[in-house]
Amino acid sequence: MFDRLKNVMKGMLDKGVSKLETPEILAQMGETELENLLKQLKEATTEAITREKMLQKQQEKNQQDLEQWVKRAAVAVSQDNDDVAKQCLSKKIELEANGKALQAQLDEAKTSKESLKQRYAEIEEKLREYRVKQKSLVARAKAGDAVANAQDMMSSASGKSMDAIEEKIRMKEARGEALTEMAQNDQFKNAEKQMDVDVELMALKAQMGANTPKLIVQEVDSDKKEE
């Protein structure tokens, strides 16, 4: 019974229990089960004792009847009445057989009674021990349940914390990637702008290079005209 209760309470910690299966209720159920078993054993023991006493009375009555028939047979013999003596002795033989059967039943009843009495004493002692240990078992179950709940809360909290940390890391990584992409875009735009400036400069230089000889020629012609 104690092992069964321990297994039930251990199962409570491993799997969880409903509100209707508290340690107190389970402990009370165990006590009630022992009390019911004790009650059944008490009734069975009472019946066994009653049967034994009835068989004893039947055995005593059978023995008394047997002795009476023996006396009657003796009287019949003393009166030279063999027929009556034979009838009395025949009845004596029947009672002897009946006595043997009753004795066998009586022996069986005694064995059953002793077995039931022993079992009753064992359960009675277990019930007494159970009542002593009941509070301790309930306290241990509550303590174990509290530890399990605390561990569940810690595990849940740790899981949430880790999720939050991972989420922050992912956000930072995404922000870093976004900044990198923006910086690359800015560099590309700057490079593109610089390229446009270079093209403009080359075009300007080309244009100026094409116009410079004409200016020189014009200046030379002007000098000649002045001469």
What length is written for the chain?
227
* Residue-level pLDDT at 157: 46
Which residues contact residue 21 at a Cβ distance below 8 angstroms, ignoring those fewer than 6 apart? 12
Residue-wise pLDDT tens digits, 124-171: 898 888 888 777 766 666 666 655 555 555 555 445 555 665 676 667
Q: How many domains does the chain have?
A: 1
Mean pLDDT of the chain: 75
* Residue-level pLDDT at 138: 66
Structural domain boundaries, residue 64: 2-176
* Residue-level pLDDT at 130: 83
User: Domain for residue 140, yes or no?
Assistant: yes
User: Domain for residue 6, yes or no?
Assistant: yes
User: Domain for residue 211, yes or no?
Assistant: no
- Measured between its terminal Cα atoms, the distance across the chain in Å is 140
> Taking 50 as the threshold, does the pLDDT of residue 199 lie above it?
yes
DSSP state of 102: H
* Residue-level pLDDT at 193: 64
Transcribe 113-153 into DSSP letters. HHHHHHHHHHHHHHHHHHHHHHHHHHHHHHHHHHHHHHHHH
* Residue-level pLDDT at 215: 43
User: Domain for residue 227, yes or no?
Assistant: no
- Higher pLDDT residue, 24 or 149? 24
Counts of helices then strands in the chain (DSSP H, E): 3, 0
User: Domain for residue 73, yes or no?
Assistant: yes
User: Domain for residue 56, yes or no?
Assistant: yes
Give the burial class of 65: count Cβ atoms within 10 A of its Cβ; 0-12 exposed, 13-18 middle, 19 or more buried. middle
For residues 30 and 4, the answer to whether their CB atoms sit within 8 Å is yes
Q: Which long-range contacts (CB under 8 A, 24 or more apart) does 21-29 make?
A: 23/137, 23/138, 23/141, 23/142, 23/145, 24/138, 26/141, 27/134, 27/137, 27/138
* Residue-level pLDDT at 6: 54
C-alpha–C-alpha distance, residues 79 and 106, integer Å? 38
User: Domain for residue 184, yes or no?
Assistant: no
Average pLDDT over residues 108-116: 93
User: CATH no. for residue 21?
Assistant: 1.10.287
- Higher pLDDT residue, 170 or 119? 119
For residues 98 and 62, the answer to whether their CB atoms sit within 8 Å is yes
